Amino acid sequence: MKLYFSRLLTNLWKLSYCQYVCLAATYLVIAFNGLFLSKSFQAVTFSDQVNWLFIISIPCLLFCLFVIFLSCISLITFVKPVIIVSVLISSVLFYSTFNYGVIYDKSMLQNIIETNSGEALSYLNVHVVVFFIFTGVMPAYLFFKIEVVGHFRRRLKSFILLNSIACLCCILIAVPFYKDYAAVGRNNQQLTSYITPFAFYSAAYKYLRDSYFYPPLAFTVLDKTPVLIDSDISSLTVMVVGETARAANFSSQGYSRDTNNFTTRLGMIYFKDVSSCGTATAISVPCMFSRLGRKDYDARLAQSQDNALDIIQRSGVEVTWIDNNSSCKGVCARVNALTINPRQDNPLCDGHYCYDEILVKELARTIASSQAKHQLVILHMIGSHGPTYFRRYPNDKKLFIPDCPRSDIQNCSNQALINTYDNTIVYTDWVLSELVSVLKNSDISDKSLLYVSDHGESLGEKGLYLHGFPYALAPKEQTHVPMLFWSNKLDKPLFNRCVRHEQIKPLSHDNIFDTLLGLTHVSSSEYRPTTDIFNSCTSL
């Protein structure tokens, strides 16, 4: 009897190629594709007439597709490494999708790759580690321990048989339910983004293809001879690129809490209907400085031609980019650039991040050290970057309590989460007021400050957190962004009235390119006056 059980346990750790692939496919479907199945069932049962056979066919079809997918990409020989890696990756992907509503498309993958170590570590917490160990590491170890028996020729026969059966099953499922799958797929195109890890592999392929396998494009100079207008008057334009600030939580937008007390007292003008170019920094930041605009934006094309900063610098304006975030995403590649070092000995820095207040001192230093008559300074904030919102403001600037001092924000109460996020908005508002004070104290004739956030943020609405949702499907919380403007010319009643007339018009990041050219008094062949927010006010 003891020998029997010993052999039984030994045989449990030995599986044929077909058994191994089917076991892995079953685990991936059951453990990591619950969201896909749940959303698929919701899409089907939304109608009055429910075809239960069709509903049952969905997990069966998904299982067959996983069998084909895993067996094909593993090339028979590498089946164990492919499955182990897929399990580990799926564990991380499912955690972020389930808890934050993250969808992994090409733009999200680009955002992940361009994230620095400090940002990446902000997502690490005990819940992530425990979940990863139990759903990723432990199952991956078991798949590692299993011995896949059979030599290559036998595996090849099993591969052919397995895929033949799987393909036949797909046909038997797809043919009678073709109309159902076509209708659900057409009306719910986002569903495939929840298939884990297939959606991630698809996004990775597209990113690698576009970033490394396409031949590089020749760089295009859009305007070789831009010129300065009113070059006799000294000018300073400050462009503040915000991070993850959503318009919904600005009191200037109508939010019930007073989150904009500082900028309101300064008379800064708030624009109420501004849309972002993307839902992630990696897309929005280069897009807002690009000539392409959101609908025509292509990262590869944008990187191979002038942006607004290049044209402004070529006209004779001194352009400086100061970054307190992950990077400028290639926008500042050809201008003066300074990245704040979070490891510096400074009470505003903790080794991973610096509070945005540090930008106030850097702006003052940049203005004082410059000999240029015309300057454009871009300040890239850390702003309201999540999920560690509590690390974006010092304790003495904490207005709303209790806050949520943790990165697993889904485990905080909704009120604590909102308190924490609102504190970041209040702190940003205070920093902007300090930046305006620096401008007011300078003796430059023409000075202005424009603030706009790169994208918004979800704070639990519809079960979504953070940002990065595909733009076509993104909720308004991720695309409706705040924009503020200050200028010493606002003291002129006619100019002030003109700008306030513009504040209710629908605007977007597409307006930034021409607005910057207008604010810096640059005449260019690329300038489009109709999309310059302040064009009608410049002569007042």
Tell me the angle at which helices 34-45 and 52-73 cross, rounded to the nearest 10 degrees: 150
Nearest by Cα to 199 from 62, 57, 24: 62
CA-based R_g, the chain, Å: 27
Residue 415: helix, strand or coil by DSSP?
helix
Q: What are the backbone dihedrals phi and psi of residue 386, each rounded to the nearest 5 degrees, phi first?
A: -100, 180
The whole-number pLDDT of residue 332 equals 96
Q: How far apart are CA 66 and CA 464, in angstroms?
A: 27
84-88-94-100 Cα dihedral, nearest 10 degrees:
-160
Residue 234: helix, strand or coil by DSSP?
coil
DSSP state of 338: E
Q: What are the backbone dihedrals phi and psi of residue 347, each rounded to the nearest 5 degrees, phi first?
A: -60, -15
504-509-510-516 Cα dihedral, nearest 10 degrees:
90
Amino acid code (one letter) for 211: S
**304-308, long-range: CB < 8 A, 24+ apart:** 304/216, 304/217, 304/218, 304/219, 304/220, 305/219, 305/220, 305/221, 305/222, 306/220, 306/221, 306/222, 306/223, 306/526, 307/331, 307/513, 308/512, 308/513, 308/516, 308/517
Q: Count Cα atoms within 13 angstroms, Cβ side, for 494.
A: 5
- pLDDT tens digits in sequence order for the chain, 540 residues long: 454 445 544 556 789 999 999 999 999 999 999 999 988 888 777 655 667 888 889 999 999 999 999 999 887 888 899 999 999 999 999 998 888 877 787 777 777 777 666 666 667 788 889 999 999 999 999 999 999 988 888 888 988 999 999 999 999 998 888 777 877 776 777 788 889 999 888 888 888 887 778 888 899 999 999 999 977 889 999 999 999 999 999 999 999 999 999 999 999 999 999 999 999 999 999 999 999 999 999 998 999 999 999 999 999 999 999 999 988 999 999 999 999 999 999 999 998 899 999 999 999 999 999 999 999 999 999 999 989 999 999 999 999 999 999 888 878 899 999 999 999 999 999 999 999 999 999 999 999 999 999 999 999 998 888 888 889 889 999 999 999 999 999 999 999 999 999 999 999 999 999 999 999 999 999 999 999 999 999 877
Distances (CA, A) of 56 to 12, 41, 44, 62: 30, 9, 11, 11
DSSP state of 316: T
DSSP one-letter string for 477-518? HHHEEEEEEEEGGGGSHHHHHHHHHHTTS-EEGGGHHHHHHH
Q: How far apart are CA 217 and CA 305, in angstroms?
A: 9
Nearest by Cα to 158 from 79, 272, 101: 79
Q: What are the backbone dihedrals phi and psi of residue 304, each rounded to the nearest 5 degrees, phi first?
A: -105, 20
Instruction: Give the per-residue SS3 of 35-52.
Output: HHHHHHHHHHHCCCCCCH
Q: How far apart are CA 72 and CA 70, in angstroms?
A: 6
Q: How far apart are CA 444 and CA 539, in angstroms?
A: 19
Domains of the chain are: 2-213 (no CATH), 236-537 (3.40.720.10)
Tell me the angle at which helices 152-174 and 52-73 cross, rounded to the nearest 10 degrees: 150
The whole-number pLDDT of residue 499 equals 96
Q: How far apart are CA 377 and CA 317, in angstroms?
A: 10
Count Cβ neighbours within 10 Å for each residue of 278-313 and write b for 16 or more, e otherwise: bbbbbbbbbbbbbbbbbeebebeebbebbbbbbbbb
Residue 470 · residue 193 · CB < 8 Å: yes
The whole-number pLDDT of residue 117 equals 63
Residue 321 · residue 309 · CB < 8 Å: yes
Q: How far apart are CA 522 and CA 537, in angstroms?
A: 16
The whole-number pLDDT of residue 202 equals 87
The whole-number pLDDT of residue 366 equals 96
Q: How far apart are CA 189 and CA 139, in angstroms?
A: 31
Around Cβ 373, how many Cβ atoms within 10 Å?
17
Q: How far apart are CA 398 and CA 419, in angstroms?
A: 9
Residue 191 · residue 185 · CB < 8 Å: yes
Distances (CA, A) of 309 to 445, 511, 522: 22, 14, 11
Structure tokens belonging to residue 504: 């209710």
Sheet holding 269-275, edge to edge: 336-339, 318-323, 374-380, 235-242, 446-453, 480-487, 269-275, 507-508
